[in-house]
């Protein structure tokens, strides 16, 4: 049996860390999100603790590989929206609430660090992986989904936008699927996550301990390419190919392309809202867009267009500005209120689709973002 050393108790902290002894004096670092009452929603404290430990493990030559997991029914269901709501509601004065600005700065810095991590990084994406959870998963070098995984960027229902670097990731999906998911927040399960490039392996959740034990038996080298291959071999040995028929995105890829083919957002929205087929997944996506925030749809459209040729670092810098704009002038507060606070599910969005959130509106909004929300030094310093 491998030997574990705990660094912080899982029972008292929302994120805990342990190290597992492996061959040759190497160790496996395991980070566990454990805020199960909120489905491991990422708070500022969690982001800061996780970033600090990942930095320490990156600098420790004895750590061969890092694993990120979540306790309970989720890897991470998103950001800690209740805390963000109360910060927005109680804020008085110009600019964005300081703690919210710090949260997005720290979250996006953490997301970028995972993309650029210098060692093999395994993210075990079991259960709900949405919003901020996607920011933890998408950049990992080795990404696992399970039979219960449900992945999505559902910001359309809360008046934010697909952030955490997903402007970059959605642009790299097959066909028009990235645009469709950004506009509708439709969820993917394992088969489609693999098809879309959001995950690399499908492994039954019951085999997670088997994977961890196998990591302790590997002859790690400390050399990135060799250790990437060792981790791949462990995961590939447990991989179970999901049934492609269980992937509604793949099944409907041609329909999605037809719905999203127009060069103007209003025409794309009109096509999706007029969908009258019998596919439940497409119907759910249509209904979510119909009820969602028009400002989110416009921001998602604009971000995919404006970030197409940006580096990942530049994407995070722009997303930071857009996020603070949403918190101070957009629909984010109202979206959280309707979904999580009052739970009436009847948000009073500030605008409707069409000219109210047209290209002129977007141009003004992006000019205001650039002028009013300077990118902090930590995000300016990210490697392009």
**What percent of the chain has pLDDT above 90?**
93
Strands 63-70 and 27-33: parallel
CA distance 68 to 31: 5
- What is the CATH topology of the domain spanning 4-380? 2-enoyl-CoA Hydratase; Chain A, domain 1 (3.90.226)
229-285: pLDDT as tens digits? 999 999 999 999 999 888 999 999 999 999 999 999 999 999 999 999 999 999 999
Supply the pTM of this predicted model.
Answer: 0.95
User: Does the pLDDT of residue 11 top 50, yes or no?
Assistant: no
Q: What is the pLDDT of residue 7?
A: 44
pLDDT tens, residue by residue, 41-73: 999 999 999 999 999 999 999 999 999 999 999
Mean pLDDT of the 280-295 span: 98
Cα–Cα separations (whole angstroms), residue 224 to 57, 71, 122, 141, 334: 14, 28, 13, 11, 46
User: pLDDT category, 384, cuts 50, 70, 90?
Assistant: low
- Tens of pLDDT, residue by residue over 152-171, are 999 999 999 999 999 999 99
24-41 residue pLDDT tens: 999 999 999 999 999 999
Which pLDDT belongs to residue 66? 98
User: CB within 8 A of 133, min separation 6: which ones?
Assistant: 40, 42, 70, 74, 75, 76, 77, 78, 125, 151
Flag the least confident range among 138-147, 238-247, 360-369: 238-247
């Amino acid at each position: 049996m491998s030997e574990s050393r705990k660094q912080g108790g899982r029972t008292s902290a929302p994120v805990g860390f342990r190290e597992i002894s492996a061959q040759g004096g190497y160790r496996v670092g395991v980070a566990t999100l454990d805020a199960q009452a909120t489905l491991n929603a990422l708070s500022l404290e969690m982001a800061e603790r996780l970033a600090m430990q990942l930095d320490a493990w990156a600098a420790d030559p004895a750590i061969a590989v890092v694993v990120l997991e979540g306790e309970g029914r989720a890897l991470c269901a998103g950001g800690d929206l209740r805390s963000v709501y109360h910060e927005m509601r109680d804020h008085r004065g110009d600019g964005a609430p300081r703690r919210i600005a710090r949260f997005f700065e720290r979250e996006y810095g953490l997301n970028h660090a995972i993309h650029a991590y210098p060692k093999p990084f395994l993210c075990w994406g079991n259960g709900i992986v949405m919003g901020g959870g996607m920011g933890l998963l998408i950049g990992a070098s080795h990404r696992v989904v399970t039979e219960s995984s449900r992945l999505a960027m559902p910001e359309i229902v809360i008046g934010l936008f697909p952030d955490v670097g997903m402007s970059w990731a959605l642009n790299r999906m097959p066909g028009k699927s990235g645009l469709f998911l950004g506009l509708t927040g439709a969820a993917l399960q394992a088969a489609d996550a693999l098809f879309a490039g959001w995950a690399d392996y499908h492994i039954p959740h019951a085999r997670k301990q088997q994977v961890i034990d196998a990591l302790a038996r590997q002859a790690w080298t400390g050399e990135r390419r060799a250790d990437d291959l060792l981790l791949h071999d462990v995961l590939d040995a447990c991989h179970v190919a999901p049934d492609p028929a269980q992937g509604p995105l793949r099944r409907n890829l041609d329909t999605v392309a037809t719905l999203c083919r127009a060069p103007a957002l209003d025409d794309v929205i009109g096509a999706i809202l007029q969908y009258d087929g019998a596919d439940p997944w497409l119907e759910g996506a249509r209904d979510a867009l119909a009820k969602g925030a028009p400002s989110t749809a416009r921001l998602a459209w604009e971000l995919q267009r404006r970030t197409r040729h940006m580096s990942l670092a530049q994407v995070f810098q722009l997303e930071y500005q857009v996020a603070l704009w949403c918190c101070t002038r957009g629909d984010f507060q109202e979206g959280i209120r309707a979904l999580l606070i009052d739970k009436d599910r009847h948000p009073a969005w500030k605008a409707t689709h069409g000219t109210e959130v047209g290209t002129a509106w977007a141009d003004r909004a992006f000019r205001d973002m650039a002028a009013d929300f300077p990118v902090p030094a930590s995000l300016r310093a990210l490697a392009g």
